[in-house]
Structure 1
Amino acid sequence: MATRLQSANFSGSGTRRSNRGRDALWLYLVISIVFLGMEVVSSAIPSQVRAYAGDVVSPVLTLLEKPVRAVQSGLERVVGVSDIYLENETLKDENARLKQWREAAMQLSRENEQLRTILKVPKREVTPAATARVIGVGGGAFERSILIGAGSRDNVRYNLPVVDSEGLVGRVLHVGFLSSRVLLVTDLNSRVPVRLERSGELAIAEGQNEVFMRLRFFPEEADIRIGDRFLTSGHGGVFPPDIPVARVSNIDADIITLEPLGLLDKLNYVRVMDYQAVPDDVELLEAEQSNE
């Protein structure tokens, strides 16, 4: 008997819950139809209801968002600590390799100085005569030059080489008291004796009054590849040796195009080098005197 009563109670409660669910469904459906109708007739009530609903829900969402953000921040910190640990290990390895290279460089420097002393080779360090700002650019169909704010007052002289942070820029063409004009390596009248950095072959880098230069008088058997760098050879007495000049950008049969390494199109400051080449006969005389 008790079991039947319990079964009846359960079935009755289930029926009541089902009825309440259907009633709520119909209520929501009616409310939705009403709001849809208001939206169709351009009523402002749905917008106001959404605005009020947003005002009510916003604090709740803000409150619920705080623990989510806290967890997210904690995870980001954990990931950040892991990244820092990996980066630290990488930096340690790089630091160890750099220490090895530093020791090797110091050893080579010491050996170089010892050999220079034994062979009595003069040093070729070139001090700057002046560091000047570019105050004007000369350009046109027949000229590639710049005007710098340094002149004879700053020990600038005719034909001194001019460089920037990347390589050779040109040479001093005209000297005034406060300013000087520099002939760029891309000028048609520019000729720079160069050597191939990889193998040492000699050639001449000529300006073309264009962005690029052209390689001339190079040996036919020379193995020149795109990307090869050319440095000043020191021949001719105008430019000191081993200054970066240009990189091979294109090879078309016998025409080799060079891209200047100096930032000629965006020069700001340049350095005038106080270079005075010693004639070969004077060098030989000094060498003989030192040997005696």
Structure 2
Amino acid sequence: MRLRRGGLNKLTLIILIFASILILTFYFRETNEGILHKTQVFATNSLASIQSGISKTVSPFHNTWKHVTNIGHLSSENERLKDEVVNLKQQIITMQAMEKENERLRKLVGFKEKTHYSTLLARVIGRSSNNLQLTLTINKGSKDGVSKNMPVVVGEGLVGQIIMVSPNAAQVQLITDRRSGVAAQLLNSGETGVVEGQATGRLVMNYVAKNVEVNKNEPILTSGVGSIFPKGLFIGTVSEVKETPYDLYKNIQVKSYVNFSNLEEVFVITDIVPVVPPLLEEGD
């Protein structure tokens, strides 16, 4: 039984080999229009159509699976990019802060070169926390040569005066403080008055006669009267002039170009020896 099956298998193999040789012989001998060539073309086209259909059917599933496998990678890449964006933003903020600081320091250096007074650069280390008293605290004191009533300025104009001194620090009363008064002078007419701080933090020049012509944007400087502020320090400009028939003097609104809320460094004028009038000394 086994021999018969083995003999049959061998016979079948011989027949298949012979048939293959016979088909190949006919295939190579016939023309392109022969039946074997046409059969090959038909079979090839049929297989191509089947493969194309299978590819179209499987492609969406393949792409979906590919997308799913990439989700983990995309998620980690997204986190990395977020961290990179945060770092870049921080670098930009740091660079902008450095640029502003450099600009501010250039202005300070420029002012020091232009002024003919001896000045001491000080850093602001504190501010008053209420509107009743507008003051700054600086990191220079009596050990550095700072004395009471010395003027404090920046490139944009007058800031105030020293009102309290300790060995390593000093307190500056701003000219916007309602208790502050600065002897001032209009540049064009030379008329004098007093620039006073208001409860609102604004500045007003009082005691200017009504018959004096005052122009908008006219510069206002310290007059030197009172021996506290030297003559010629820039205070600001005229922003508005008000008067009524019943007023004895003009009410002149003053615009200061100093950004009092953002001061970081100031100059203390140290070569002016403040002289306090006797009446003021008695009132202290």
TM-score, normalised by the number of residues in structure 1 = 0.51
Residue of 273, 279, 282 corresponding to 2:269: 273
TM superposition shift of 1:126: 2.2
**What's 1:96 paired with?**
none
**What's 2:49 paired with?**
none
Residues 139 and 246 from structure 1, CA distance in 2 versus in 1: closer, same or farther, beyond 3 angstroms? farther
Matched, 1:135 2:125: yes
**What's 2:176 paired with?**
186
Alpha-carbon displacement from aligned partner over 1:252-275 (angstroms, at most 9, x marks no partner): 324321122322122111000011
Residues 134 and 248 from structure 1, CA distance in 2 versus in 1: closer, same or farther, beyond 3 angstroms? same
Structure 1 residue ranges (4+ consecutive) displaced by more than 3 angstroms after TM superposition: none
Please state whether the residue corresponding to 2:261 is helix, strand or coil: helix
**What's 1:224 paired with?**
214
AA in 2 matched with 1:257: Q
Task: Judge conservation of contact 1:162–1:170 (CA < 8 Å) in 2.
Answer: yes
AA in 2 matched with 1:169: V
Task: Judge conservation of contact 1:244–1:261 (CA < 8 Å) in 2.
Answer: no
User: 1:170, 1:176 → 2: CA distance?
Assistant: 18
- Rg (Cα) greater in structure: 2
User: 1:200, 1:225 → 2: CA distance?
Assistant: 12
Task: Judge conservation of contact 1:151–1:178 (CA < 8 Å) in 2.
Answer: yes
AA in 2 matched with 1:255: N
**What's 2:155 paired with?**
165
Please state whether the residue corresponding to 1:217 is helix, strand or coil: strand
Residues 210 and 135 from structure 1, CA distance in 2 versus in 1: closer, same or farther, beyond 3 angstroms? same
Residues 202 and 148 from structure 1, CA distance in 2 versus in 1: closer, same or farther, beyond 3 angstroms? same
User: 1:161, 1:174 → 2: CA distance?
Assistant: 12
User: 1:255, 1:174 → 2: CA distance?
Assistant: 31
Please state whether the residue corresponding to 2:128 is helix, strand or coil: strand
**Any residues of structure 2 matched to 1:18-167 within 5 Å, and which?**
125-128=116-119, 130-167=120-157
Residue of 203, 207, 223 corresponding to 1:233: 223
Residues 139 and 225 from structure 1, CA distance in 2 versus in 1: closer, same or farther, beyond 3 angstroms? farther
Task: Judge conservation of contact 1:249–1:259 (CA < 8 Å) in 2.
Answer: yes
Point out the more displaced range, 238-247 or 218-227.
218-227
Paired residues in the alignment total 158
Please state whether the residue corresponding to 2:182 is helix, strand or coil: strand
Residues 219 and 208 from structure 1, CA distance in 2 versus in 1: closer, same or farther, beyond 3 angstroms? same
Residue of 197, 200, 205 corresponding to 2:195: 205
**What's 1:12 paired with?**
none
Task: Judge conservation of contact 2:149–2:274 (CA < 8 Å) in 1.
Answer: no
Task: Judge conservation of contact 1:168–1:261 (CA < 8 Å) in 2.
Answer: no
Task: Judge conservation of contact 2:183–2:225 (CA < 8 Å) in 1.
Answer: yes
User: 1:176, 1:245 → 2: CA distance?
Assistant: 27
TM superposition shift of 1:184: 0.2
User: 1:239, 1:145 → 2: CA distance?
Assistant: 17
Matched, 1:174 2:164: yes
TM superposition shift of 1:277: 5.5
